[in-house]
Every structure is written in C-alpha cells, then in structure tokens.
Amino acid sequence: MIYSKELDSNFKLLIAKEPGGENIKRCFSCGTCTAGCPVREVTDRYNPRKIIRMALLGMKKEVLSSQFIWLCSSCYTCYERCPQDVRIPELMNAIKNIAVREGYMPPAMKVQIELLSSHGRLLEVTEFENDKRKESGLPLFQGRTEDVKRILKELGFYHEEERGPS
C-alpha cells in the first residue's frame, strides 16, 4: 500500500537537479526500458519503469534504501531506445549519488573506494604482475597513485584515520 502522506513530492525535483537525472519528469511509463532490459530478463527484482514511477510518486525512502537501484548493468540499451530521452542509466546513477549522500552506500562500493584509494585502481599491480610484464616484454607499471586517494579524500569519500593497519 502507498500512503500519500508518506510521499515526498520534492523527490523528483531533487533527482532532476542531479547530473544525469535532468529528464526524469519526461517519463510517460511506456515500459520500453523494461521490455528490452537484459537484467530484467533474468530477475524481476529490477524494473526500471517501476523505479522511475516510484521516484516520480515521491517514494523517496523506498527508492534510496532499495537494493534494486544498484542492479542496473549500465548496458545503455534503454538509453538508446527511450522515446523520451530519459537517459535511464544516468538517471539511476543520479539516484545512486543521492542514496550515497543519504547514507545508503552498499558494501560493494565501500570495498571499491578502499581499493581505489589504496592503489589508484581496482586491482593492485604487484611485483608478481610486473614480473610477468617483464617476462612478456611489456613496459612496467607504476603500482599506485596518490592522486585518486586525494580526490576521494577531498570529496569526503575516504577517511584515512578510520583505516585499520593494512
């Protein structure tokens, strides 16, 4: 049941202000996105038309705290087909950006932030990889960069003091 008292009619405006979310109000619920969605084909837990409808209705908490917003595979099939140019994968990112700000960061993203801060990349290039590169005649890698850590730190996504010994 949806209770109108619990709806936040400003939610769609909040999304529309977020980069990628600008076109949310154009959606007329045709379902082209969902019909061609490869994620939807294997699970009914992801339904972009429903998510957009929920967002437009103002079901802020239900959308932001959900796991389904993280199931978009960013394949851009719907992006190309949407007759209203809602740009759904970018819209999902806009919603996810808001969710993170509201404290709903999924564990998988915490792990990725940690890795990116430590290595500047998702996968560490160790001596093992560099040895293999040397063997194969490939130029060697500089294992890490502090720049990514700096970006994530300045924007408040990485807090050095909270880190345990690595």
Partner 1 sequence: MKKREDHLKDTSYTLFLGCTVPVRALNYEIAARKVAGALDIRFHDIPDFSCCGYPIKSISHHAYLLMAARNLALAEAKGHSVCTLCSSCGGSLAEANHELQEDKNLRQRINEDLYGWLGLRYEGEVQVLHFARILHRKIGAEKIGGKIRADLSSLRVAPHYGCHYTKPSAIHGRAEDPEDPKSLDELIRATGAQSLSYEDKLSCCGGGVLAFDEQVALGMAQKKLEHIHARQADAIVLICPFCNVMYESNQKKIEKVFQKEYKLPVLFYPQLLGLALGFEPDELGLKMNRIRTTDLMKKIVRRPA
Residues that bind partner 1 (CB under 8 A): 18-20, 38-39, 41-43, 45-46, 67, 70-77, 79-80, 87, 92-94, 96-97, 100, 105-106, 108-109, 111-113, 116, 120-125, 129, 132-133, 136, 138-142, 145, 147-148, 150-152, 154-155, 157
CB 143 within 8 A of CB 125: yes
Give 22-76 as a DSSP string: TTGGG-----HHHHT-HHHHH-TT--HHHHHHHHHHT-HHHHHT-SGGGG-----
Closest to partner 1 by CB, 57 or 115: 115
Q: What value, to the nearest 5°, has the Cα angle with vertex 17 and ends 96 and 35?
A: 55
* Beta carbon nearer to partner 1, 11 or 158: 158
CB of 20 to partner 1, least distance (A): 6
DSSP-derived 3-state class of residue 114? helix
CB of 7 to partner 1, least distance (A): 25
Cα 117 from Cα 145, distance rounded (Å) = 9
* Two structure tokens written together for 135: 């063997």
| Cβ proximity of 63 and 54 under 8 Å | yes
Q: Which is nearer to partner 1, 39 or 59 (CB)?
A: 39
Q: Which is nearer to partner 1, 2 or 140 (CB)?
A: 140
Distance in Å, CB of 81 to partner 1, minimum: 8
